[in-house]
Structure 1
Amino acid sequence: MIPAPFDYAAPATVEEALALLAEHGDEAKVLAGGQSLLPVLRMRLNAPGMVVDISRIEGLRGITDEGDSIRIGAGATYQDVLDSDLVTEHLGLLRSAVKEIADPQIRHRGTVCGALVHADPAGDVGAPVLALEGRMVVRGPDGEREVPASEFFVDLFETAVGEGELLTAVVLPKHTGWGSHYEKFVRVSHQWAIIGVAATVRAEGGTIAEARVGLTNMGATPMRASEVEQALVGLPATEEAVAQVCARAGEGTDPPSDLNGQADYRRHLAGVLTRRAVLTAAGA
């Protein structure tokens, strides 16, 4: 299907992009890599009057070291993340998840921030960013603000980014030396996650000292298995020790029921995949 007609602008600065958003209001849609927006336009699920392409804003493309954290700009593609030595060294969980996204063509076009603001609960970057306790940098008419990941995802396809605002970066605390793994369950290659588990673990002498666990497609938004995280602390990194704790990962979740599986099946699967992800992250 061919998209409905729309006007197009490619601003050179964030200020120009914000001015266009202010001028066109809810008639404007932001395009970064286009891997979320373009299918929506082609299926005519949305018909904006103006598409604001931010991919040419040079200042949004970088991945930079900010001391205790790494800043990933809104123009940075998935492939930029995979190629970044900073991400490899300090954000292993994000890298592990991005490797599972689609195919090289999409990874060279799609962006982390674009996926975050699109907020598809089956998307692969929301859960790791939530588990890593990221902060979203949002620019608007009133200036810049940071929104913690725990407050960013509001509902299905809805985030804390308001009308006239732009997500310009995500800032992720370094998890240097932590083991990590993203366990994604799909029926066919390159599919959206039926469910996914993002786990990162800091182990000391074979014992879990800290753990972070995020869940993909287990509700209307990415979720964090906080009770599982707390229960894992102090346990030896063995299957016998963590299996019972990880089996509870699906408790309190509200996964969908569809052709890929019923909700109770997904809850059971969450426990199985959490155990696998945690043990792999812990090096067991």
Structure 2
Amino acid sequence: MKTMKLGSSTLEVPVVSVGCMRINSLDKTEAEHFVQTALELGANFFDHADIYGSGECEEIFADAIGMNASIREKIIVQSKCGIRKGMFDFSKEHILESVDASLKRLKTDYLDTFLLHRPDTLMEPEEVAEAFDILENSGKVRHFGVSNQNPMQIQLLKKSVKQPIVANQLQLSITNANMISNGFNVNMENEQAVNRDGSVLDFCRLNDITIQPWSPFQYGFFEGVFLGNEKFPELNKQIDEVARKYDVSNTTIAIAWILRHPAHMQPVIGTMNEGRLRDCCQATEIKLTREEWYSIYRAAGNVLP
């Protein structure tokens, strides 16, 4: 597995992150086998959140990997907080309580990275800064980031927070590529020219923030996957053609398309299927040509001006 630096930090991470949101769909033996397969593939970065399975997923993961001091040194653990029932909460109290709860469920003393999950409009940057300082000074969190935030929200946070923001989790796939499309359509009067995220792609590149694409196979919000979907015949035809050239699966090409972007993103893979996880990891060995990348982009219905 190829590795990369996470944001501006010195933390060396695998190019593919293993998302654990669905690990509670596996039984004990399946979960143990899945985690071991990930480790064998070099995919030792595990992404969590306090809301995944209402915390159950963190507990299942810790048991599946047999968390202890020796194992902890070999893996990178990320978790998130901020989403509560009917609200978002970036209060100092909630952040600190959430991290402590995640650490207990994960059976570890620290998180390698901790992200604020969804923007809280009632956020007070000074409060977040206090929480981050406490977490850093206590050794409970080593690196900090955000999720689903635009440039101005990050700038507002940075007004008080001194720690570098090393990651930003954002939805991105071949069919959900507005952060890329609006850059093609500058000053154009069409739908793809609409800048919905404040040029977050360029902002993250300029500020050494690693984008962690989530739902890399989804179209819409959570409407389904585009691979093998009759709604996307041209896209699947093009992906399959490129897949045959490299003798890999369509899954591999879908991830290779994201990895080809020079922003050096770290996609979060949510599958609990070991075969698909292998296919995703194989994408790190492929570099699509410029022609192949654009042909897949266009086949998804994206129009170049």
TM-score, normalising length: structure 1: 0.26
Q: Which has the higher helix share?
A: 2
